[in-house]
Amino acid sequence: MTMSTDARRYAQIRYRLLLVDGLLTAVVLALLQFSGYSRAIAGWWSARHWPAEIVVAGYLLVFGLVSYFTLLPIHVYGSFYLEHRFGLSRLSVRGWLVREAKHIAVSGLLSVILIEGLYELLRHAPRHWPVWATIGWVLVSIVLARIFPTVLLPLFYKTAPLQDQALVRRLLNLCERTGLSALGVFRFELGADTRKANAALAGLGKTRRVLVSDTLVAEFTPEEIEGVLAHELGHQRYRHITKLLILSAIGSWIAFRLTDAAASRWVAPLGLQGLADMAGFPMLMLWFWLLGLLGLPLQNGVSRRFEWQADRFATTMIPSARAFADALRRLAQLNLADPNPPAWVVWLFYDHPPITARIQAAEKREP
């Protein structure tokens, strides 16, 4: 198969996996709730007369194990087999298992902290919990953004200062031209896992730094790397992160308010003592899943608009718009991006514009 045929086939399978994974998640949540299994789990932990925090953590442990192993086959297919089938992953089975264990540990810890916090609010602030939950969500988002480059990223990828001083100066000069400061330029070892390439301006305040993958440094010219970073700087220049945080806060508040208003429709019919009853956790997650699905097209539409703005900014900040177009083309080849996704797929799943449209737009800006 040609590269474009590979990309199209890979994308088609990914679309189907997204749909299947989403539907299976909903089915698992519904089965746990309506089969009585959730009530049994919650009842077992409650019968121990342990503190409410222990009951929540214990319930989440059992719930997480059941959910994870139920969905494990499709997860293994999508994250390991499929990536190897199309030559994207370089991880061995052992390497995948190690990375998966780290992911489970980090995501599990964060999930327990967030859900423990939510149930604390449901128990102790039943009237005003949507406001406090929104504030908590925003604060957690800010903290995660700040610690990502210094705490979270090194857990998964080796990170060190970039040694190519000419490239470092080039990228830091670009930051200065856009009025943004960065602690330095750091290289993270993505190549041991995948052939994909990436770059970012990550962190907040004193932790903000330029991140470039080893695959990007190895496969792209300095002009193309500069173009990729210019795009990321465009997000900072137009304050997209702040705007997305504000939109996330508004969306979260609406979701929590809707949850508070709609909960009465399932609390009593399911025999729950209230929204804070852990036996109703799958129903609560199913409700959030539905709200997320309904809000996804709007969220992705806003994100695509921001990506267009960042693309235009990139082509104005580097000497050649064609270098940015070449960088996008190379990224598409390495990442097997679908060159022409169906309109409904873009509307539902894409938080970036289709790569072919981005390349064509960048080429038109070349004088």
- What pLDDT does 50 receive? 92
User: At residue 72, does pLDDT exceed 50?
Assistant: yes
- What pLDDT does 112 receive? 96
Q: Which residue has the higher pLDDT, 273 or 151?
A: 273
- What pLDDT does 150 receive? 79
SS (H, E, C) the chain: CCHHHHHHHHHHHHHHHHHHHHHHHHHHHHHHHHCCHHHHHHHHHHCCCCCHHHHHHHHHHHHHHHHHHHHHHHHHHHHHHHHHHCCCECCCHHHHHHHHHHHHHHHHHHHHHHHHHHHHHHHHCCCCHHHHHHHHHHHHHHHHHHHHHHHHHHHHCCEEECCCHHHHHHHHHHHHHCCCCCCCEEEECCCCCECCCCEEEECCHHHCEEEEEHHHHHHCCHHHHHHHHHHHHHHHHCCHHHHHHHHHHHHHHHHHHHHHHHCHHHHCCCCCCCCCCHHHHHHHHHHHHHHHHHHHHHHHHHHHHHHHHHHHHHHHHCCCHHHHHHHHHHHHHHHCCCCCCCHHHHHHHCCCCCHHHHHHHHHHCCC
- What pLDDT does 231 receive? 94
- What pLDDT does 154 receive? 87
User: At residue 1, does pLDDT exceed 50?
Assistant: no
Highest mean pLDDT among 2-11, 182-191, 301-310, 313-322: 301-310
| Share above pLDDT 90 across residues of the chain, in percent, rounded to a whole number | 78
Q: Which domain holds residue 295?
A: 3-364
Global confidence as pTM = 0.89
- Report how many domains make up the chain: 1
- What pLDDT does 125 receive? 95
User: At residue 3, does pLDDT exceed 70?
Assistant: no
Any idea which of 1-5, 93-97, 110-114, 166-170 has the lowest mean pLDDT? 1-5
Kindly report the average pLDDT of the chain as a whole number: 92
